[in-house]
């Protein structure tokens, strides 16, 4: 199996997606920006990581990509890898009839300008990557997998029912406001759900979930006393705080 980075312009995204899907079906790993970069990530850092980690960089060449500063930068990095590693890294794929950049001249390229020849050219690309189509599972293997999935679903349903029962019991006596805060916190921090459902409490009317307590403690360490400490002291809720933190300590110890 090979890994391949698809260097392309945004306007060529439909072709890049099709090519990426076909490469994955053939058993190869594909790096494409929309699948690898999440909100908040550094574009430069993530793209550089992708360029450094893959076996090949496919340069999808069109009028738009030739004019793209991002694509030019990506290909500069990939061409430097070719020099350093003394092997082929950049695979030019011609999507439109454009003049090849200087460092790509003399390379044999995949000509995708004729859409009717897509499969033919794609097979040449797969030959270069070293075809890696996974072997199909046998009928018996599929049946065994289905049985395992069915058994896992039964176990999951059993524990889901237990958790639902625990939740109803644990929330008994809690105010509607606190229950709302617990639900909100559990959506943001699902791994805190059992602790919040069991140990969340109110201090002078203020809902206290695990994430809020940890935030208040951290802020207290940085800037001194937090108002939550006063509310907890007024309502004598320190035992509840200790129980919540003990439960969190148990969770971290798993």
Give the phi and the psi of residue 200 in degrees, each rounded to 5. -60, 145
- The region of weakest confidence among 20-29, 77-86, 102-111, 182-191 is 102-111
- Report the pLDDT value the prediction gives residue 156, as an integer from 0 to 100: 67
The pLDDT value recorded for residue 253 is 66
Please tell me the predicted confidence (pLDDT) of residue 37. Answer: 43
Read off the pLDDT of residues 59-83 as tens digits, 9 standing for 90 and up: 999 999 988 888 888 888 888 888 8
For residue 135, pLDDT over 50 is answered with: no
Contact 8, 60 (CB under 8 A): yes
Sign of the dihedral through C-alpha 126, 129, 130, 133: negative
Average pLDDT over residues 157-176: 70
Q: What share of the chain is helix, strand, coil (3-state, %, to 5)?
A: 65, 10, 25
How far is residue 133's CA from residue 137's CA, in Å, rounded to a whole number? 12
Tokens of 32: 């494409």
DSSP letters spanning 128-190: HHT--PPPPPPHHHHHHHHHHHHHHHHHHHHHHHHHHHHHHHHHTT--HHHHHHHHHHHHH-G
Reported as a single tens digit per residue, the pLDDT across 7-47 is 988 889 999 999 999 999 888 888 886 444 444 444 456 67
pLDDT band (50, 70, 90) for residue 150: confident
pLDDT band, very low/low/confident/very high, at 174 (cuts 50, 70, 90): confident
Return the percentage of the chain with pLDDT > 70, whole number: 80
**Residue 64: its pLDDT value, please?**
92
Residues 6+ apart with CB under 8 A from 176: none
Q: Please tell me the pTM assigned to this model.
A: 0.47
- Alpha carbon distance 152, 158 (integer Å): 10
Identify any residues that bridge with 203 across adjacent strands, giving them in sequence order: 206
Residue 46 pLDDT: 61
The distance from CA 178 to its chain's CA centroid, rounded to whole angstroms, is 32
Share of the chain above pLDDT 90, in %: 18
Is the distance from CB of 112 to CB of 118 less than 8 angstroms? yes
CATH 2.60.15.10 fits 3-129, yes or no: no
d(CA 64, CA 76): 17
pLDDT band at 94 (very low <50, low <70, confident <90, very high): very high
CB 72 within 8 A of CB 64: no
**Sequence ranges of the chain with CATH classification 3.40.50.10140:** 3-129
């Amino acid at each position: 199996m090979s890994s391949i980075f698809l260097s392309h312009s945004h306007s060529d995204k439909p072709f890049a997606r099709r090519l990426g899907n076909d490469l994955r079906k053939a058993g190869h790993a594909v790096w494409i920006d929309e699948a690898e970069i999440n909100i908040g990530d550094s574009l430069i850092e993530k793209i550089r990581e992708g360029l450094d980690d893959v076996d090949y960089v496919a340069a999808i060449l069109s009028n738009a990509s030739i004019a793209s500063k991002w694509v030019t930068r990506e290909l500069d990095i990939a061409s430097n890898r070719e020099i350093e590693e003394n092997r082929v890294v950049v695979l030019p794929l011609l999507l439109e009839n454009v003049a090849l950049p200087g460092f790509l001249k003399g390379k044999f390229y995949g000509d995708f300008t004729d859409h009717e020849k897509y499969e033919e050219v794609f097979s040449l690309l797969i030959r270069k990557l070293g075809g890696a189509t996974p072997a199909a599972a046998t009928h018996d293997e599929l049946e065994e997998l289905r049985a395992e999935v069915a058994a896992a679903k039964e176990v999951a349903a059993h524990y889901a029912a237990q958790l639902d029962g625990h939740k109803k019991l644990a929330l008994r006596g809690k105010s509607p406001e606190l229950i709302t805060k617990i639900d909100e916190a559990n959506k943001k921090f699902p791994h805190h759900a059992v602790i919040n459902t069991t140990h969340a409490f109110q201090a002078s009317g203020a809902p206290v979930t695990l994430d809020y307590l940890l935030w208040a403690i951290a802020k207290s360490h940085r800037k001194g006393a937090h108002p939550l400490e006063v509310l907890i002291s007024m309502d004598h809720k320190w035992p509840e705080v200790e129980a919540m933190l003990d439960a969190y300590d148990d969770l971290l110890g798993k």
